[in-house]
Structure 1
Amino acid sequence: MFDFATLFRPLAEKSQQLYFVYHVEAQRLVYLSPAYNDVLGLPNETANEDLPRLVARIHPDDQQYAALRFRHVLQGRFVEDVELRLSPANDPAGPPQWLCFTAHLVAQEPELTYVSGTVQNITQSREYIDNADRYNKKKNTVLEILSHDLAGPFIMLKQVAGYVGGRVESLQDAKLNELINVMQTTCQESVNLIRDFVDTEFLESANVQLKLDRVDVAAELREMTQQLQEAEENLNLSFQFEGPTTCYFHLDRNKIMQVVNNLFSNAIKFTPDGGTIRLRLDEQPTQLIITLTDNGVGIPAQHQSVLFERFTPARRPGLRGEKTTGLGMSIIKTIVELHQGQIQVKSELEKGTTFTITLPRHD
């Protein structure tokens, strides 16, 4: 019969991942692979003495989550890819170290219960992913702002050209009329090009498998709202955020931020100058609720039931002539449902619209 411990020991001894075995009743580590020093920068010989200090260094926002996942392990659940932040030993305010844990309970007999698992230092890859996520989120917001800023002047020029065309019609100048038609056509094509670019970017980024992470949703939504607030003067709208200081939740950060960005985009299109758009976050024991409310023109009752259909017949141009493909709401619904959530809409003509997203908790 194979001795699996002997067979797998060379793998554990040479791996850059830390392999460990923890004796639950004795509250002691009984095995640590040599990677302990590389992962945590501490000598193996003092591991049990260091353990309480390591636990105390878990980031305050992660301590409750770490305790919950450890309880899951003791309940016999296989816990995989749990990401936690560890504050630096010499500088609690410095950048954290990111660790990824996988653990499982092994009960051999009474008073002989072990937790075995692995720990990996993912600080470098996490920093890369976080930077990419921040860039992607900001890119979506900036694209929407730029599309509004770029499309607005073209729409205004088209309207001016139409007005001039009506005033000079009596001149019966064929060349002048042709130039005015060229201006109108060029302006409309430019607006279409801008909106097509933005819609295509959002559509392509939606067609990606979900990557669930533990995310501070409050911080993400607050930052997105702040970016729009900085553009209030150009957008001629007011943006507000209400919610807790922190709110950690498992979801696909990029996809949910895309959902909120698309909702903001829709609200911007149908809220007149001087209007207000409010984003609210509510955390409940079993679910997360994201609500976006505007005081715009509202959605006709007959369109609300088909609003989330692909190429919906409810699509209509924005107040400033913004083009729509009828895909934005369909993308939103798809992403929310991939998170096993729901989205609802309430609207009244000339009084505004409220979208409510409900996401179930899966800790």
Structure 2
Amino acid sequence: MLYNLLYPLSEYISIFNVFKYITFRTAYAILTSLALSLYLGPVVIEKLRSLQLSQKTKGYEPETHKAKEGTPTMGGIFIILSAAISTILWADLKNPYVWIILFAFAGTGMIGFYDDYIKTVKKNPEGISPKLKFTLQLVIAIIVAFSVIYADRGANSTKLTFPFFKNLIVDLSYFYAVLAVFIIVGASNAVNLTDGLDGLATMPSVIAFGTFIIFAYVAGNVKFANYLQIIYVPGAGELAIFCGSLVGAGLGFLWFNAYPASVFMGDVGSLSLGAALGTVAVIVKQEIVLAIVGGLFVIETVSVILQVGFFKATKGKRLFRMAPIHHHFELKGWQEPKIIVRFWIVSLVLALIALSTLKLR
């Protein structure tokens, strides 16, 4: 909004020329969302506490999680508010990708809000049925996938690139929409599965969005895209501002979510973060790189799949002590802060590997 209002004035007042720079607006989007998150945090937490919207265990978590009962949940509300307001303030609102990503972000957030509502207000720890949740996610992902393809309208809109290879590009045609839907829904659920310890999903999300600031910026810059031999996506640079907004909002949320947490993000936060991450990857044509950047989320998801598959195949035996895998380490005796920090380190290493794909081709 500030870009649309103030940049045109640069013709008369030169200082407003800074608004044309994505780097400038991304930096201030980070600071704006961070400030909003830090301001809204205590307000939202107190409101959640007064409404008794608190964490409820399902009964099969490690024993240590019983102590977390009563901690306010649905804190993802102020992540969404902070990031959305900051994005609207600093992004070019004429860019269709801005509205597509905000739709994916807010839409899945509403699904998570409804799920959290059932868990807290209706006192059903299981939330809405998996079938209904998946169906709603699918509807939003389909709308987003076709919106991205329509907004691009270029020869590259259905192409899939492979990191570490210069010329390995596959045009999936109509099947690309299926892949895009899978990525968006998969990423949404993967972050949701990871959100099981204080700050465990928050910091890896911040790292992932911080990494995609760079991917979005170079994908939207024709010179950098050609130099780095990646697909040029006109307008994708504006997503750097959205990613920056989530970096700031995530850091602000972590202030309250760090161990021992004063608030949990709930499904309203985790589902929306994952869907937004998947949507950004689809728009900037770095779908496979997402599996590297978000490798921790992939590991958590795969651990659940392996656990269920092994349990069924062996008729009752378990591959891990508990899944997702962070619970396995809890039951092995690792202290929660140690698990969290080590998983953060893994996320950071994976982000560096993902960034290396820009040059190692």
Sort the TM-score into its range (normalised by shorter chain).
under 0.3
TM-score (norm 2): 0.27
TM-score (norm 1): 0.27
Larger Rg: 1
RCO higher in structure (CA 8 A, sep ≥6): 2
